[in-house]
Structure 1
Amino acid sequence: MYRFLLTPRWLGILALTLVAAAVMVLLGNWQLARYEERTAVNERIDAGSRGTPAPLRDRVPAPTGGAGTTGPAPAEQAEWSRVTATGRYDPSNVILVRGRTVDSTVGFEVLAPLVLADGSAVLVDRGWIPPAPGGGALTAPEVPALPTGEVTVIGRVHPTETGGSGVGRRDGRLETRRVTVGKLARELPYPVHGAYLLLDEQTPANDPAFKAVPIGHANNWQNLGYVVQWWIFAAMTLVGYGWAARREARRAAGLDKPRPPVDRAAEPVTPA
């Protein structure tokens, strides 16, 4: 009954079916890897919220170059962990990051370099503030003054962002769209660590005008849904081939005979 499967036509159909199923399985495997990556990120975020702060240098390598250079990026395991650092803020190089949304409102995140005892700096995200009243979303905000003297901060290690346009200056402040540490470092007169800190605590205390920047979890369940979807598609492709082959075999064996046409003229007419 199934000898027809060895004909060129059906061998071609089988080859296409297997290729399609294999591609769908590979796509499912790729989404599974993405799910595992995002799950690991979420676990680091959750662990960082509970962890005891470690010294900055235990999590983020110190820069070894000169002014305007960037230090190595932290290891993945160090991302989102809590660290502490002590230094002095540089008020002449405050950084505005425009187009940032908190609580459905577009505003600015404000970064300031914290210059450490060895002369290097780490960028500290002080938090989010809205634009100045009466203007649009890109109107420069009223930025609270930096504390003077020695400051101790506790913050989360945030990996550098990528992309975005260049860095410019407005009203004496650096301004950018993305916190790309390498680009910002080229505008600063000292070497900069290869990640920045989301401020959790500060001594003396941070200005209450700032809102803490929330850390969003990655949507790993979406990737898991894609895994199931692609693997189901692969199974359906194979089942569809089997169903088509069985139907063809039954037709060739005369088991699936076409039904005779219905003679509508012979049907009795029901009087109105």
Structure 2
Amino acid sequence: MYRFLLTPRWLGYLALTLVAAALMVFLGNWQLDRYRGRTAVNERIDAGAKMAPAPLRDAMPAPTGGPGTTGPAPAERVTWTRATATGRYDTSNVILVRGRTVDSTVGFEVLTPLVLADGTAVLVDRGWIPPAPGGSATAQPQVPAAPTGEVTVAGRVVASESGAGAVDRRDGKLEIRRIGVSRIARELPYPVAGGYVLLDQQTPAADPAFEAVPIGHTNNWQNFGYVVQWWLFAGMSLVGYAWVARREARRAAGLDKPRPPVDRADEPASSASA
């Protein structure tokens, strides 16, 4: 009854179905890896809110190159954990990161290099401020002055962002679209750590004009939904092949005979059409 499945045509259907199902299972497994990775990020974000800050060097090794170079990127396991460092702000090299949104308002995040005792630096994201009043979203803001003298900061360890683009210098300040640490480091006269610190505490206290940059959780459940979707598609493709094969087998065995056409002319007219 199912001998037709060994014909070249049906073997081709089977091969195509198996390849499609295998591809869908692979895509589901890929989304499962992404779900696990994003879940781990969310767990580090939550744990970082409760942990005491560790020394900066535990998270980001010191850069060993010359001026304008960067050190190793922070390991994935330490991103979004808290770290602390002490140094002096380099107020001559303030970096404005434009196009950053907080509470539906587009403004700037302000980065200032913190120069450490060994002569290297780490970029500190001091917070968000709106553009200059009355101007466009790109109107350069009045940046609150950084504290002079020794400063101790604590905050989240964040990896460099991709797609940073070019660095511009406007009115004595560096501007960039995204926080690309290596791009920014090329404009600075010292080696820079491979990640940056998103400030949440500072001694002396930070200027109240800054708004804290919110830390958003990743949407890991979206990836989990894709896992279920791809695996369901894989199962449906196999079930669909089996259903079509069974229908063909029943047709070949004469079990599914076509119904004779109905002669509507012999049917009595309904009362509605009378």
Instruction: Give the shorter-chain TM-score range.
Output: over 0.9
Quick one: distance in 2 between partners of 1:243 and 1:152? Answer: 69
One-letter amino acid of the counterpart of residue 79, structure 1: T
Quick one: distance in 1 between partners of 2:64 and 2:203? Answer: 28
How high is the TM-score relative to the length of structure 2?
0.97
Can you list the C-alpha shifts for 1:195-225, whole angstroms capped at 9, x where unaligned?
1000010011000000001111111111110
Residue equivalent to 2:136: 136
1:193 match: secondary structure: strand
How far did 1:182 drift?
A: 0.5
Residue equivalent to 1:14: 14
One-letter amino acid of the counterpart of residue 16, structure 2: L
How far did 1:270 drift?
A: 4.3
Asked if 1 retains the 8 angstrom alpha-carbon contact of 2:123 and 2:196, the reply is: yes
Quick one: distance in 1 between partners of 2:44 and 2:115? Answer: 27
Q: Counterparts in 2 of 1:90-101, with a 5 A limit?
A: 90-101=90-101
Residue equivalent to 1:42: 42
User: What is the root-mean-square deviation of aligned Cα atoms in Å?
Assistant: 0.9
How high is the TM-score relative to the length of structure 1?
0.98
Identical aligned residues as a percent = 78
1:162 match: secondary structure: coil
Quick one: distance in 2 between partners of 1:131 and 1:26? Answer: 46
Residue equivalent to 1:225: 225
User: Aligned pair count?
Assistant: 272
Quick one: distance in 2 between partners of 1:35 and 1:213? Answer: 25
How far did 1:268 drift?
A: 2.1
Quick one: distance in 1 between partners of 2:79 and 2:205? Answer: 24
How far did 1:46 drift?
A: 1.1
Quick one: distance in 1 between partners of 2:117 and 2:268? Answer: 104
How far did 1:123 drift?
A: 0.5
Quick one: distance in 2 between partners of 1:79 and 1:71? Answer: 15
Quick one: distance in 2 between partners of 1:185 and 1:270? Answer: 86
Quick one: distance in 2 between partners of 1:148 and 1:164? Answer: 29
2:234 match: secondary structure: helix
Can you list the C-alpha shifts for 1:7-48, whole angstroms capped at 9, x where unaligned?
111111111111111111111111111111111111111111
Quick one: distance in 1 between partners of 2:198 and 2:85? Answer: 12
How far did 1:86 drift?
A: 0.7
Quick one: distance in 2 between partners of 1:268 and 1:98? Answer: 78
Quick one: distance in 2 between partners of 1:27 and 1:211? Answer: 40
Quick one: distance in 2 between partners of 1:36 and 1:270? Answer: 64
How far did 1:238 drift?
A: 0.4
What 5-or-longer segments of structure 2 have no aligned partner? Answer: none
Residue equivalent to 1:23: 23
One-letter amino acid of the counterpart of residue 204, structure 2: P
What 5-or-longer segments of structure 1 have no aligned partner? Answer: none
Quick one: distance in 1 between partners of 2:93 and 2:268? Answer: 95
Out of 68-77 and 95-104, give the one that drifted further: 68-77
How far did 1:262 drift?
A: 0.8
2:214 match: secondary structure: coil
Quick one: distance in 2 between partners of 1:230 and 1:67? Answer: 49
Residue equivalent to 1:185: 185
Residue equivalent to 1:107: 107
Quick one: distance in 1 between partners of 2:4 and 2:25? Answer: 28
Residue equivalent to 1:60: 60
One-letter amino acid of the counterpart of residue 24, structure 1: M
